[in-house]
Structure 1
Amino acid sequence: MTTMNVSLPDELKTFVDERVTHDGYGSTSEYVRDLIRRDRERGHLRDLVLEGANSGPGVVADAAYFKALRQRISTEG
């Protein structure tokens, strides 16, 4: 594991300390790692949304679509 040092103004340090205590993190490092993971996940979700938005129109999800989906699931299961 690699170590990083981060300088924070007192106001942000107090905020982080409060989040660590309030949210039950074991340490400041654990809190920061969680923030980084969440940011990475948000970026991944954003990429997926953009990919979907750029993929063109999808199929119509009407009653017939869901009926066919249920049939496919019951025969594959």
Structure 2
Amino acid sequence: MARQSISFTEPNDEWLKSQVDSQEYSSKSELVNDLIRQARSQQKQIDWIKAKLEKSEKSGFTDATKEQILAESKSNLNG
């Protein structure tokens, strides 16, 4: 595992310490790694949503009603 030296602002350091003190995490490193994993997961979700939005924007407009769009969406989800 790579070792890094990082600095935290006082409020962030106090928060990290409180999380370790509450035994939620065994160390600041474990907590920081967990926060990074969460951020990476969120970024994957954001990227997926962005891709879907870009695809939708490129697909153009429709004359279908909202009911027709909903029915088609449900049909696509159900196979």
Give the alignment's TM-score, normalised by structure 1: 0.68
Q: List structure 1 segments (4+ residues) > 6 angstroms apart after TM superposition.
A: none
Structure 2 gaps, min length 5: 60-67
2:12 paired residue number: 12
2:26 paired residue number: 26
1:23 shift after superposition: 6.2
Structure 1 gaps, min length 5: 73-77
1:7 shift after superposition: 1.3
2:75 paired residue number: 65
One-letter amino acid matched to 1:65: S
Distance 2:50 2:23 in 1: 32
Map Cα deviations across residues 38-77 of structure 1 (whole Å, 9 max, x no partner): 11111111100000111126x93429727x92xx5xxxxx
Number of aligned residues: 68
Tell me whether 3-12 or 24-33 shows the greater mean CA deviation.
3-12
Tell me whether 18-27 or 42-51 shows the greater mean CA deviation.
18-27
1:37 paired residue number: 37
